[in-house]
Chain A
Amino acid sequence: MDRRESLKSMLITTIVGGVGFQACTPEEAEKVQQLTTKVGTYGRTEAEKIYDQKLMAIDFFNEHELNTIAVLCDIILPDFDGKGAASDAAVADFIEFIVKDMPRYQTPIRGGIMWLDSASNKAYGKVFVKCSQDQQISIVDRIAYPGKTAAADRQGEMFFSLMRNLTLTGYYTTQIGIQDLGYKGNTPNIWDGVPDDVLKDHGMEYPKEWMPKFVDQSKRDVKAEWDEDGNLIT
């Protein structure tokens, strides 16, 4: 997977950015669009923009490492029922960025990939990405279940747990992941309490003595006035 040309990540940033650009050439236009949709569309200060750009200009992982990350991420979150795999959400791009942003991850991940390749070499005489899917899964199964890992594979478990964490964050912070999760917010709305069916499912109800105190959303636009004792009268 070529991270720079990742169609999916471009798709995501385009949906988000939606900024039209009048640049000289199509290539330039695309470059500018990529930059501005990735950088500076979320309220950055000048210093923050420069910092983001600096990180994006650096390559940390080599091609082999990126390929390994992409394969691992798709084992961690494969497509299910058309919801999209980790690669559909460009999770490898996120991990590539985050290790530059949080250098503490660099050695554990770089070293973890090497650990994985060593384990694959020992077991099958091939690096991880060259193994068959079954072989990959058999290695992953050795390190995917904390508490059940053989002592000799414990470092692999640490690596896999880290990759699982980053894959989950990388996936569920995209549009694809948020749709799968069912998060419904981040949009203007009028909150008027927990839906009745949910209350019922949980055997809950709003305390009766509280009900008159809550905001009457039908009067939210009526200017507030109080009597002298602080009782709201509008």
Chain B
Amino acid sequence: MMQIIESPNEYDVVIVGSGAGGGMATKILSEAGLKIAVVEAGPYFDPADPEQMTQLKWPWESPRRGANTNRAFGDFDAAYGGWEIEGEPYTHTPGTKFEWFRSHMLGGRTNHWGRISLRFGPNDFKRKDIDGLGDNWPIGYEDVKPYYDKVDKLVGIFGTKEGIYNEPDGFFLPPPKPRLHELYYKKGADKLGIPTIPARKSMVTKRINDDRGVCFYCGQCGRACSVYADFSAGTCLIFPALKSGGQVDLYVNSVVREVVTDDQGKAKGVVYISKEDRKEHQINGKVVVLAASACSSARILLNSKSSNHPNGLGNNSGIVGKYLHDSTGAARQAFIPDLMNRKTYNEDGVSGMHVYTPWWLDNSKLDFARGYHIELGGGLGMPAYGFGFGVTELNKYVGGVVGGYGNKLREDVKKFYGSIVGLYGRGECIAVESNYCEIDPNVVDEYGIPVLRFNYRWSDHERNQAKHMHNTFEGIFDAMGGVVLGDKPGRDEDYGLHTPGNIIHEVGTTRMGNDPRTSVVNQYEQLHDAKNVFVVDGGPFVSQADKNPTWTIMALAWRTSDYIIDELKKQNI
């Protein structure tokens, strides 16, 4: 006998996940008067709750001084979870690597991300037309632009109008002025003809509505903002939706295992395991929207097997889980002697960079296919675990004594404070069918849910791009008068290319297309195989550009939500 506890409520829409995509769907669909269930695997989270808040804490409040023993980005980072979660393993095909970052909590990973919010440009939707690799999206920039515009105005993003074709401008709030090391960067990059422009990030530098505060420049967006001046899906989308009156029920600590379907193969609802009672529950709805993150949504679909969907829901094509791809990444640091012995002042600013370099070259003249942008870090930051490690070694570049102790050491610390600059390349890889996640036939997690097994290998396009990044970094550092730290990684280290998954931009597992044989969802993120199921996370991305995916996830989720409202009105789903 089945012992699934069925919720008595019948919802219009059941949304799985409360991050960027799920948050946006919740807001738009609930405002249209639909009754919504949001099912979130993690706990409720509000960065203004003193019990959960980490913003403005001092390093000594953590006995490990903010080290990353428990949280991948340190004690003060807002994201629960990380690359490894106890009781929720994932596996790999031998010889392949993939790091899967999960954050189970209200708002998901939007609580801690860098808020770098870049629109895809016209080229980014049609890369196959340019280089013959991968596939085009079935939609173009003109389809998404109106939604990017709406996301800009709703969520808030600072930036500047630059008129760069493939870096479209939006409705920007004004950006903060650059910090000192960022001026050094610009000066160095200028010498090489590499562009530097103000960053584009979703922090509210100027009031956008009465529900959210204005940035007070603590530089801690990664800790999630207690006045909601940065974008998190919880604070900016879910909370307003909850406030708007009785339309949204939030189910937290509820781990969705599968979408259940009826005799016709249409979705009926979802089954989840409650972390509180460790029992199976079912929530029914007319429409199911998956927004659990690209890999989690693919996992749910693959685990939703029925007589109508023997390969898993939406997987008649066998494409679910395929075309998994993450941004490329490579990083390098340099010591800038001109930034020694600094006067100190508060330059926390907004979290991370105030300026960046968008992709500026023509790939037809390069030995890799796609571009990257450059992010930078540095400055007079707040000390945390790791502060001072190896600091005396910098003396070897300025004729000082390496090592030592006492007052000499105290002086070294101040001499070198704020003199290190880091550059981080974030690029586009080629999405290929042979990089994928699938269900591991042998392993379940602590909720009895079959887990994902990853198969991912970089190609020379990505390796050569990483090599190019390092050459560029060295050139810029040189032009800044800096001393590049560490050796340039060689071929044996993939030229310093980070492990796939490491950049946490994984997308592509339920890709979009017009042909049901080669794609999972249509241009409205609707499953080809089940009309009342949608995927609004990074899964539908055909290719991911060298842009951080969140803004596009939200724009597409809004577009999809409008489509759902329309289709429900027309009684098509």
* Chain A positions near chain B (C-beta within 8 angstroms): 12-13, 16, 38-39, 41-43, 45, 48, 51-52, 55-56, 75-78, 80, 83, 94, 97-98, 101-102, 140, 144-148, 161, 164-165, 167-175, 177-178, 180-195, 197-199, 201-202, 204, 206-207, 210, 213-216, 219-224, 226, 230-232
In the complex, the number of residue pairs spanning A and B with C-beta atoms less than 8 Å apart equals 256
Give A77 to B177 CA distance when docked, in angstroms.
37
Asked if A194 and B347 make an inter-chain contact with CB atoms under 8 angstroms apart, the answer reads: yes
Output the residue of A38, A102, A144 with the most chain B CB within 10 A: A144
CA distance A180 to B186 in the complex (A): 31
Docked-complex contact B346 and A185, CB < 8 angstroms:
yes
Most buried by B among A48, A75, A102, A172: A172
Q: Which residues of A contact B220 (CB under 8 A)?
A: 186
Please report the C-alpha to C-alpha distance between residue A184 and residue B387 in the assembled complex, in whole angstroms. Answer: 16
- The count of residues in chain B whose C-beta lies closer than 8 Å to any C-beta of chain A is 93
Q: Which residues of B contact A77 (CB under 8 A)?
A: 405-406, 409-410
- Measured between beta carbons, the chain B residues less than 8 angstroms from A181 are 344, 383, 413-414, 417
Which segment of B51-59, B298-306, B322-330, B539-547 sits at the interface?
Answer: B51-59
**Would you give the shortest CB distance from B58 to chain A, in whole angstroms?**
6
Given contacts A97-B64, A191-B348, contact A164 B57 (CB under 8 A): no
- Any A CB within 8 A of the CB of B261: no
User: Which residue of the partner chain, among B67, B343, B382, B414, contacts A98 with CB atoms under 8 Å?
Assistant: B67
B479 on interface, CB distance cutoff 8 Å:
no
Give Cα distance in the complex from A148 to B402, angstroms: 9
Chain B residues near A101 (CB-CB < 8 A): 63-64, 67, 69
Minimum distance in angstroms from A228 CB to a CB of chain B: 10
Chain A min CB distance to B126 (Å): 23
Residues of B within 8 A of A98 (CB): 64-65, 67, 385
Decide if B174 touches A232 in the complex (CB within 8 Å). yes
Contact check, A184 vs B206: say whether CB atoms are below 8 A apart.
no
Nearest Cβ on chain A to B155's Cβ, whole angstroms: 12
On whether the beta carbons of A186 and B218 are closer than 8 Å, the reply is yes
B186 neighbours in A (Cβ, 8 Å)? 207
Closest to B187 in A: A204
Instruction: Tell whether, in the assembled complex, residue A75 and residue B406 are in contact, meaning their CB atoms are under 8 Å apart.
Output: yes
Which residues of B sit under 8 angstroms from A146, Cβ to Cβ? 393, 402-403
Which one of B209-217, B359-367, B454-462 is at the A interface?
A: B209-217
Listed residue (B57, B61, B156, B183) with the most chain A CB atoms within 10 angstroms of its CB: B61
The CA-CA distance from A83 to B409 in the complex, in Å, is: 14
B478 on interface, CB distance cutoff 8 Å: no
A155, chain B: closest CB distance, angstroms: 15
Contact of A223 among B67, B207, B350 (CB under 8 A): B207
A42 touches B54 (CB 8 A): yes
Specify which of A78, A184, A202 is in contact with B346 (CB 8 Å cutoff).
A184
- Bound-complex Cα distance A146 to B396 (A): 11
Asked, given contacts A168-B391, A191-B177, A224-B207, whether A185 binds B218 with beta carbons under 8 Å apart, the answer is: yes
Give 3 closest A-B pairs by Cβ, nearest first: A168-B388, A193-B177, A182-B344
